[in-house]
Amino acid sequence: MKKISVNSIKASKNYKLLSMITAYDYLFAKLFDGIVDIILVGDSLNMSFGGQKDTLSANMDIMLYHTKVVCKGAKNSFIICDMPFGSYTTKKDALKNSIRVYQETSADAVKIEGGVEKIKIINHLVENSIAVMGHIGLMPQFVRSEGGYKIKGKNSKEREKLIKDAIALEKAGVFAIVVEGVKADVAGEVAKAVNIPIIGIGAGEKVDGQVLVWSDMLGFFEDFKPKFVREYLNGAKLIKESVKKYVADIEERKFPNEKESY
């Protein structure tokens, strides 16, 4: 599979549905490489990899480390580094931190949560040659200020805001937008309102592509299971069964055997 570029991502609108998955390390990035169009080093790693209750304590050093190791493993998928909470509150910080992403890793783009209120910051990044993916709807970095994870698009005010946000982000120069936790019909309307791809997560099928967190879709993360996740593998069960077998083999002196010894 040929590595997709910012231009081919934009051109995929109404032509090809985009696939995106998260990865946090070399091992899994290498397994996903070239199969999915886009790998997102999501700040969700703070929860599923780091065991924290939300994404807010992820910082630039953590995101840079994980982006670096993902880039080592994946050479054929387009890689996006999620900008962590607090790293893009001013134009100056956003640019300084995005430049770190480009200079310290080989990621192709950054992702930023926020709509109209983030336009000046995103514009500044785009003007300075940073490729930016937007993220609207349910934004995990707002979990404490909004008092929980809230599905969006439930009334006309929210619907209008989502459409306004998407149009403003497109104008500011983002190449695609993640729409998370939004009623399917409204997400479809958002997709129709812009000429760039809308990549959904918990946003139904009327959009231009899908993203899932790898440890959810492969069944490794057992703490909670969002309704929108389809589990393609029961990773936790397979791992536990294999490790139990390993322990039994040790206890019964079945491992190692002659072939596995020097």
Please say which residue, 52 or 155, places its beta carbon nearer to ligand KIV. 52
Please say which residue, 43 or 108, places its beta carbon nearer to ligand KIV. 43
Pick the catalytic residue: 117, 180, 189, 231? 180
**8 A C-beta contact, residue 137 and residue 181:** yes
Please say which residue, 130 or 211, places its beta carbon nearer to ligand KIV. 211
User: Residue with the closest Cβ to ligand KIV?
Assistant: 42
Please say which residue, 187 or 201, places its beta carbon nearer to ligand KIV. 201
Radius of gyration of the chain from Cα atoms?
20
Q: Which residues pair with 180 in a beta bridge?
A: 137, 201
User: What's the closest the beta carbon of residue 222 comes to ligand KIV, in angstroms?
Assistant: 17
User: What's the closest the beta carbon of residue 242 comes to ligand KIV, in angstroms?
Assistant: 26
CA distance 36 to 78: 9
Catalytic residue status for 189: no
User: What's the closest the beta carbon of residue 201 comes to ligand KIV, in angstroms?
Assistant: 5
Counting beta carbons within 10 angstroms of the beta carbon of residue 57, is it exposed (0 to 12), middle (13 to 18) or buried (19 or more)? Answer: middle
Please say which residue, 162 or 201, places its beta carbon nearer to ligand KIV. 201
Q: Give the interface with ligand KIV as residue ranges (CB under 6 A).
A: 22, 40, 42-44, 82, 178, 180, 201, 211, 213
Q: How many residues are there in the chain? A: 262
**8 A C-beta contact, residue 116 and residue 143:** no
SS (H, E, C) 97-151: HHHHHHHHCCCCEEEEEECHHHHHHHHHHHHCCCCEEEEEECCHHHCCCCCCCCC
* Residue 20, H or E segment: strand 18-22
User: What's the closest the beta carbon of residue 192 comes to ligand KIV, in angstroms?
Assistant: 21
User: What's the closest the beta carbon of residue 135 comes to ligand KIV, in angstroms?
Assistant: 6
Distances (CA, A) of 56 to 50, 63, 141, 175: 12, 12, 6, 25
* Residues belonging to the active site: 180
